Structure 1
Amino acid sequence: MRQLLASLALVLPLAATAGPVNVLTNGGFESTKLTNGQWQVYGSLEGWNLVSGSGIEVRRNVAGAAKEGQNYIELDSYGNSAMSQSLTNLTPGAEYELSFWYSPRAGVAADSNGLQVLWNGQVLSVLTANGLGLNAHQWVEYHFEVTAQQGLNTLGFASVGRNDSLGGSLDNVSLVQAVPEPASLALFGAGLLGLGFTRRRRA
């Protein structure tokens, strides 16, 4: 029993304070090395595959600054494009929190700033915002709860709207497993304590 209580004293604080781990690769698009003021269109990036269109455009302080780090991307590179990241290490049935930052491109109307968000082929949302009158990025963070399926899971983003090489910006994409609420942790601890008392009575 003393050993069980000592284990709980260690496990519960760790469960409550352990930070979430981003399971995505290159969610901030920082693996691409660009010089300041440079942009480049790629057929793929570390962790990300081109699904359709002419390429994934990575920018560093071009037509706006990144929300996090140095780089951000635009998917209406030479035309509307789509990219995805495949994940094979998720826990089936578990809830994950998807978050990312989106901004319209400054000086561009809403019908050219569309960004579609997909999870396992299903559209979660289509974002857009009016960039007319802006002279810099106006980043907004978005959150979605998604459920992992058995086997392969796929996160996707696609530029939608006018096909004119001017589109919305994306940065700092994160996917983390949802952390149990404190009440759930307390129930977990109570369950372990009950298991300990049961074992003691049976002994």
Structure 2
Amino acid sequence: MKYITAAIAALAFSSLSNANLITNGGFESPDINSGWTYQLDDLPGGWEGDNIEVWKTGFNGVNSFAGDQHGELNAHPNDGTNFSIFQTFNTVDQADYDFSFAYRARNNNSESFLLEIFTDTSDLFSMIFDDHTTSAWSTFSDVFLGTGELTTFRFTSINPNSGTVGNFLDAVTVEGEVASVPEPGSLALLAIGLIGLGISRKNIRA
């Protein structure tokens, strides 16, 4: 019986794989033909936040860092407060997560933004980015430690804290371990099969 229990536990917790936990990190969705567009609250299957703007590569002379599109953090103010965009995902406790992104100023080199990575109980990373320019993309990468909780990855505009010109973002990734637990029905079928196998072996030995 102890072997059966071990097999079930192994199936439940060994389905670990590495993946990019950020959806639509290149702002490739929605696909736009030219120019720019924006969403009031979120982008399909990915970012949530304040009036997210998407630019087609080449628009106003700005080519995307990767792919055909990139995002702008500050867009279309309606209440005079800072803009934020974010995604929330689950992490594995004590697992390392590599993250990276590209960023570029849109209007002037004084633009800046804050990146925060946090859970309901812990602040995992926080940094202000004020070193980018309008002439080229910059990149940043680092590592944070997962806690096994839901984790939020959030960009917030600082300068300008409101307004329609600000920070470009592209190629956002968070790569690391993802725990995939089998559905209860699958575990039940496995348990029944293994128990049956154990009974069969016991009868043979008898």
TM-score (norm 2): 0.65
Superposition map of 1:134-153 within 5 A: 134=134, 136=135, 138-153=136-151
Q: CA offsets, 1:168-187, max 9 Å, x none? A: 11000011128xxxxxxxxx
- Aligned twin of 1:108: 108
Shift of 1:41: 3.6
- Aligned twin of 2:169: 170
Which amino acid is the alignment partner of residue 128 of structure 1? D
Q: CA offsets, 1:34-69, max 9 Å, x none? A: 11223324310122211xx4x111111333121111
Shift of 1:87: 0.4
| From 15, 19, 22, the counterpart of 1:21 | 19
For residues 173 and 132 of structure 2, what CA distance do their matches in structure 1 show?
A: 25
Query: Does the 8 A contact of 1:48 with 1:83 survive in 2?
Result: yes
Query: Does the 8 A contact of 2:56 with 2:69 survive in 1?
Result: yes
Query: Does the 8 A contact of 1:120 with 1:154 survive in 2?
Result: yes
Which amino acid is the alignment partner of residue 159 of structure 1? S
Which amino acid is the alignment partner of residue 91 of structure 1? V
Query: Does the 8 A contact of 1:41 with 1:77 survive in 2?
Result: no
- Aligned twin of 2:127: 125
Shift of 1:29: 1.3
Question: Aligned residues, how many?
Answer: 149
Percent identity over the alignment is 24
| Bigger Rg over Cα | 2
TM-score (norm 1): 0.66
Shift of 1:151: 2.2
Find out whether 1:30 has 2:28 as its counterpart. Answer: yes
The two structures, once aligned, show a CA RMSD in angstroms of 2.2
For residues 24 and 164 of structure 1, what CA distance do their matches in structure 2 show?
A: 26
Q: CA offsets, 1:144-179, max 9 Å, x none? A: 21111122111111111222311111000011128x
Shift of 1:130: 5.8
Q: CA offsets, 1:76-133, max 9 Å, x none? A: 1023410111102x2111111110001111x4241xx2121110164521112364xx
For residues 130 and 103 of structure 1, what CA distance do their matches in structure 2 show?
A: 5
Which amino acid is the alignment partner of residue 83 of structure 1? I
Q: Gaps spanning 5+ residues in structure 1: where?
A: 1-19, 179-203
